[in-house]
Structures are given as C-alpha cells and as structure tokens.
Amino acid sequence: MTGIDYRREMHLIRQTERSLDVHVTERLIELAQIHPDAIIVKMHDDEVKAKSLDNKAWVAKLPIEERISYIEAIEAWSSENVEKAVQMKI
C-alpha cells in the first residue's frame, strides 16, 4: 500500500466513525423519549433515569462507549418492563 492508500483508508474509517457516532446519539435520544423512566445508571442508592438525557448536544458529548451502554440499559429495562405490562393485559 502507498501513503495515498493509507490516507484514503483513514478517511473512510473516520467517516464511518462519525456516522456511527450520529446514529448512536439519535438512537439513545429516541429510546430516552420512548422509555423516560428506564434506569440507565445506579449510583449508590440513586437511580439515573433516561429522561435525564433530554439535551442532544450534551448527549453527543458523552463518550460513545457510555452512550452505547445507556442504550443497552434502556433496552434491557424495556424488555423486562414492557413484557410484564403486555402479560398483564392478556
């Protein structure tokens, strides 16, 4: 590979990373709006809920790994609590 090839590859990787970053932020904001009472973090005796993620600019500044963990937490909370609600209706 040449230097130009490496530069192209680096450009594609950065472009893909930016796209992933935007998608992760959008998904987290969407899930936080759908499930505002989902618990995303437990600190000592306190629970931080998804409704605290109401500022898109602030959320976008969080490390992407943290945003992904919040998405996972909301999805886990949702699968536990939404299934219970559906079962109660039947």
Residues 46-63: tens digit of each pLDDT = 999 999 998 999 999 999
- Number of compact structural domains in the chain: 1
Q: Token pair for residue 90?
A: 């039947």
Residue range(s) defining the domain that contains residue 46: 3-89
Which DSSP symbol is given to 62? S
The rounded radius of gyration (Å) of the Cα atoms in the chain is: 18
CB atoms within 10 A of CB 28: 23
Which DSSP symbol is given to 45? T
- Orientation angle between helical segments 3-34 and 64-89, nearest 10 degrees: 40
Residues 13-29: tens digit of each pLDDT = 999 999 999 999 999 99
pTM of the predicted model as reported, rounded to 2 decimal places: 0.82
CA distance 63 to 73: 16
